[in-house]
Amino acid sequence: MFEFKKTSHQLRQRIFFRVLVAAVLACVLLGILGVRLWYLQVVRYEGFAARADQNRIAVIPITPRRGEILDRNGEVLARNYRDYTLSVVPASLGEPVDDMLNRVGELVELSPRDRRRFKQNAAQNSRYSEILLRNNLSDDEAAWFAAHAFKFPGVTLQARWVREYPHGESAAHVLGYVGRISEGDQQRLEETGQTGNYRGTQVIGKKGIEKTWEKTLHGRTGIEEVEVAASGRPVRTLSRVDPVPGASLRLSLDIGLQKMAEGLFAGRRGALVAIEPSTGEVLAFVSAPSFDPNLFIDGIDVENWRKLNDSPDHPLINRPLYGTYPIGSTYKPFVALAALETGKRKATDRISDPGYFEFGGQRFRNAGGAVYGSTDMHRALVVSSDTYFYSLGPEIGVDNLHDFMKQFGFGQHTGIDLDGERQGILPSTEWKRKAYRKPAQQRWYAGESISVAVGQGYNSFTVLQLAHATAVLASNGIVRPPHLVTQTLSPHDPEIEQPVRIDAKLIPLKQANVDVVKQALVDVVRQGTARRAFAGAAYQAAGKTGTAQVFSLRGAKYNANAIDERLRDHALFMSYAPAENPKIAVALIVENAGWGGSVAAPIVRKVFDYWLVERGQMQ
């Protein structure tokens, strides 16, 4: 009996001990859990709350509408329209790409070009990049795909703004184009701290005004915070910051004049720039042949790219801005003015022109072997005597000529609001020392100044520079940088215009010397090398023809029919009108077309007739 009571007591003690240990253990575990809960809900509250919001809230960028580009009269040159697109993130696909393409193709039409372009872009970008599959979906196609979108993870239906150039090839080199943001573009955005403003944006300005005025045209990206369910389905909008549309731009370009001038090239290669001398505004900017910028918006296909890139006519090159040429006799008015301003020769001084200029035992002949006899500066410009200007080269000297011509913008960046302008070559003794490595080549020889004085030799200028210099001469030495954008238009109220300020400066010239040259240019049109082109004009123009040699004949007689077409001389003309009160200044080159008087001058006559007579700009 006693033993039983003792055993029962021990058993109760063991049970009590076990219960006590379990209670202590439970309290410890509850304490640990309580501490952990306190740590998670108090100490780490802010961090976890933010992460929870990130899972719960989707931040969606809202792409701003790109600003439009208008001509001087309000004609739209670049605009936007709404478009439905299908985009794919390859990393999010749950199946092979070809299977996805086949299944999507059952709902919306996918052409072989769409498939090919998608695969090319996918190969060139990260698997996590959004790749365009199809654009320009109809409303029916968009609605049909939206109803079945849950079957296609990684494929997104989107509405976007699409750029359009309604005039096609006209003014393409001015406007440029937009294209998909490349890795290089992305890197530049990161370097300039603009990445955030391009979230959700797929395109960026690549060339022309679209590139140089990208910041103004793009606008500011908006943000929408959306609460989403665990499945990713939007539940409600929490907040929204509306995007700010890009500002529109008004150009000085006149699309009517632009198209008319482009048509005058009729399949020829060349460039033309027309400037309003009193403002520096560019009225026309022709690069022939041209291209259709609409091809580049979503990435140009291989076939069209090859046609453009492999063409011997190089339609993608911006000839007025990037092409550099010897400008021949159109350089002579400025050489004559340099001679007067430096005091190397008076306008009344006469030289004998036997048809050639002899220097160092070598004869430099007039074009066509012409002989002009006793010639002063006025006659030399009117008949385009090479001998007269050959003789000026060594007298003025290349360095004096360089310093004078630099003021007119030759061999300099004009500062036009387009990207990619070439400087060209305005030779000097210093330039030659830097351009060549061998000491014998670095030396400037007096004979080299002879060809430079007639616009040949090392001279290499853009048509834009020649047009700018012509406008400066027409303005009696007032330098107004050429420009295209004249106003920015408020995205909220198009009636609010912000003019673009252009500063002018004056070249210190003697007006009497300027008058000598300008009177000679009037007589070039009245009775000289451009008289036939301007016969019967309703206004008085002033100008100078030019023919620039492409390659040396080494003393042989020039015969256009005996040499390859692309080795024939370039035809040039620089002019302004009306002579007494210039409203327009033009320079152009027609590549490999021969004489400036017979090819280039008639083009300018038609440009002047259109602008001054048909459009009533003479007053």
- The residues that are catalytic are 329
Dist CA 572 CA 569 (whole Å):
10
Q: In whole angstroms, what is the distance from residue 481 CA to residue 421 CA?
A: 13
End-to-end CA distance of the chain: 139
**Cβ atoms within 10 Å of 273's Cβ, excluding its own:** 31
Taking the C-alpha atoms of residue 465 and residue 219, their distance in angstroms, rounded to an integer, is 33
CA distances from 57 to 154, 181, 198, 228 (A): 20, 27, 20, 6
Residue ranges of alpha helices (H) inside 569-612 are 601-608
* Polymer length of the chain: 619
Residues 6+ apart with CB under 8 A from 610: 256, 257, 260
Cβ atoms 153, 94 nearer than 8 A: yes
- Residue 54: name the closest of 44, 65, 46, 62 by CA: 46
Q: Is the dihedral of CA 206, 210, 215, 221 positive or negative?
A: negative
In terms of Cβ atoms closer than 10 Å to its own Cβ (0-12, 13-18, 19+), residue 355 is: middle
Which residue, 290, 318, 288, 259, is CA-closest to 611? Answer: 259
Closest by CA position to 218, among listed 232, 236, 206, 233: 206
**Per the structure block, which two tokens stand in for 133?**
């599959």
In terms of Cα–Cα distance, which of 539, 522, 307, 282 is closest to 418? 282
Strand partners, 179: 204
State the alpha helices, DSSP H only, in 373-486: 377-383, 386-396, 398-407, 429-435, 439-442, 448-452, 463-474
Which amino acid is located at 37 in the chain?
Answer: L
Tokens of 195: 């990445």
Q: Which of 259, 245, 277 is CA-nearest to residue 174? A: 259
DSSP string, 179-232: EE--HHHHHHHHHTT-GGGGTT--EEEEEHHHHHTHHHHH-B-EEEEEEE-TTS
Give the DSSP H or E segment for 542: strand 542-548
Instruction: Give dist(CA 271, CA 422) in Å, integer.
Output: 15
Q: What is the CA radius of gyration of the chain?
A: 36
CB atoms within 10 A of CB 110: 17
